[in-house]
């Protein structure tokens, strides 16, 4: 089997090429000049070609040396990248998820927590509560913020008011029968609470728009084709707030929780959930 140069030899070769001197390369590599010279002789034997033209003051690359130089640089870079990736994969990780609407609330907690744990790699996933519940179940998340329901449970952080809304310029769309509504995906707690409110007042309805996110429901509302319900802090912009005066019952608030993933848990998870619980004490004003 043909001999191959070692990365150490290639590093010495690149240093000698860039310094135009074995002596200066030896200093840069913290080696003796004799050690560098020996390694370069071995490299030339492996290459079966002269790599340097040695002068009285400088050592310049030959044509073969120039050809090897570009590849040597790339091989060294790839090795450094590989070891860097390996070190990163060995870092402690905390995988956190949240619906898009709650990311602004989570941002400050994550920032503070990351500053206190610089050795920790925090990964953030944005998805619907149902999708986050499945990721927790599968072991792909360590913790998540979501809405309490059939598929997700955990520690209560706060209660989220919901508001009926229509587009501000929609011509009394809420008076239509059946009422065109934008609903959340089947299985979501928000959808269940919306349908319960409609049932309490006997409002006939027709689902004309369905989404797994607040942004998606608002898209249906902004199109002027449906009435929807969104968290209170999202009921801004060109929307009209609707309520009992418009024939729509109040929607039961949502319980926003912090849910833990499967064990064994990373050591940082409990500290993160505690930090989340502390921060959530200041969220109620934001959510009203």
Q: Hey, where are the domains in the chain?
A: 7-89, 95-157+259-287, 162-252
Provide the sign of the torsion angle of the four alpha carbons 58, 64, 66, 68, taken in this order.
negative
Band the pLDDT of 56: cuts 50, 70, 90. confident
Q: Does CATH number 3.40.50.9100 belong to domain 162-252? A: no
Report which of 177, 179, 278, 281 is spatially closest to residue 227, judged by C-alpha positions. Answer: 179
pLDDT, tens only, 32-45: 999 999 999 999 99
Q: What is the pLDDT of residue 131?
A: 94
Please give the share of the chain, as a percent, with pLDDT higher than 90.
57
Predicted pLDDT at 171:
75
pLDDT in tens, 108-119: 888 888 888 888
Same CATH topology for 95-157+259-287 and 162-252? yes
pLDDT band at 54 (very low <50, low <70, confident <90, very high): confident
Architecture (CATH level 2) of domain 7-89: Orthogonal Bundle (1.10)
- Give the tens place of pLDDT for each residue, 116-142: 888 888 899 999 999 999 999 999 999
In this structure, what token pair is assigned to residue 104?
A: 């602004």
The mean pLDDT of 52-58, rounded to a whole number, is 83
DSSP three-state, residue 200:
helix
Question: What is the spatial distance between Cα 113 and Cα 109, in angstroms, rounded to a whole number?
Answer: 6
Q: Which CATH class is domain 95-157+259-287?
A: alpha beta
pLDDT digits (tens, 9 = 90+) for 151-209: 999 999 999 999 999 998 877 888 899 999 999 999 999 999 999 999 999 999 999 99
């Amino acid at each position: 089997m043909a001999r191959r140069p070692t990365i150490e030899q290639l590093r010495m070769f690149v240093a000698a090429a860039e310094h135009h001197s074995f002596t200066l390369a030896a200093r840069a590599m913290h080696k003796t000049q004799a050690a560098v010279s020996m390694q370069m002789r071995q490299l030339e034997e492996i290459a079966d070609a002269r790599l340097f033209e040695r002068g009285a003051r400088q050592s310049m690359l030959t044509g073969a040396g120039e050809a090897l130089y570009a590849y040597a640089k790339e091989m060294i870079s790839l090795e450094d990248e590989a070891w860097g990736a390996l070190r990163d994969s060995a870092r402690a990780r905390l995988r956190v998820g949240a619906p898009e609407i709650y990311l602004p609330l989570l941002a400050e907690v994550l920032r503070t927590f990351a500053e206190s744990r610089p050795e920790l790699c925090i990964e953030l996933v944005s998805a619907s509560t149902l999708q986050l519940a499945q990721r927790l179940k599968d072991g792909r998340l360590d913790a998540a913020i979501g809405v309490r329901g059939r598929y997700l449970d955990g520690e209560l952080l706060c209660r989220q008011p919901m508001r009926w809304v229509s587009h501000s310029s929609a011509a009394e769309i809420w008076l239509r029968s059946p009422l065109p509504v934008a609903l959340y995906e089947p299985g979501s707690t928000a959808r269940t609470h919306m349908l319960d409110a409609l049932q309490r007042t006997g409002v006939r309805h027709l689902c004309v728009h369905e989404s797994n996110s607040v942004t998606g429901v608002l898209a249906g509302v902004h199109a002027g084709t449906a009435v929807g319900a969104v968290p209170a802090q999202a009921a801004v912009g060109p929307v009209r707030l609707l309520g009992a005066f418009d024939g729509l019952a109040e929607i039961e608030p949502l319980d926003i929780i912090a849910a833990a993933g499967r064990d064994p848990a990373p050591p940082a998870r409990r500290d993160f959930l505690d930090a989340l619980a502390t921060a959530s004490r200041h969220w109620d004003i934001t959510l009203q």
